[in-house]
Amino acid sequence: MSLEFTADTSGFKALLDKVRDNIGPKGQQRILDIAAEKGRKEIIDRTPTAPTGDHATRRAWMPPREVSGGREIYNISPVMGYLENGTVDHGPVAGPFLWFKNQAGQLIRTRWVRGITAMHIVRDFMPRLGDILKETMEKAVQSIGK
């Protein structure tokens, strides 16, 4: 399971037209690259290390890739799906116990675990991603006038 998201740029029509008219296709692609990388860095900072205790979920945010007219920022960790959407209380599926290691490395067995509350990291980041794109475009337009 991976999480992917894109930004809706429909609210930036005038700014997009100005960028398109003055920068050209390669400049537009560069703006998308810069905005996507800034967005990736910010969402990495927003991704918690808990409850797993390591940085694997943060490291799982992949570099932005080009997709039909935009950029896609995605996370390949299955844990990210659980952090985003939450989980329910549950017991073992196969066998009488759930087995896992705690942060001290001790093997623990239990019959039931509490779920985690959805953190909505990506959902809550979407408005900020639009702001990042707008700021990047405005900076590019200002550099044209100089």
pLDDT for position 137:
84
- Tell me, yes or no, whether 30 lies in a domain: yes
> At residue 44, does pLDDT exceed 90?
yes
pLDDT digits (tens, 9 = 90+) for 125-142: 999 998 998 899 888 878
56-65 per-position pLDDT tens digit: 889 999 999 9
Q: Which tokens go with 63?
A: 């570099």
Q: Is residue 106 part of a domain?
A: no
For 65-107, write each residue's pLDDT tens digit.
Answer: 988 878 999 999 988 888 899 999 988 888 899 888 877 888 9
> What percent of the chain clears pLDDT 90, i.e. is strictly above it?
34
pLDDT for position 60: 93
Rounded Cα gap, residues 140 and 82, in angstroms: 37
Record the pTM.
0.72
DSSP state of 69: T
What is the span of the domain harbouring residue 36? Answer: 3-87+116-145
Q: What is 41-52 written as a DSSP string?
A: HHHHHHS--TTT
Residue 17 has pLDDT above 60, yes or no: yes
Counting the structural domains of the chain, the total is: 1
**Is residue 19 assigned to a domain?**
yes
Tell me which H or E stretch contains 22: helix 13-23
Report yes or no on 70 lying in a domain: yes
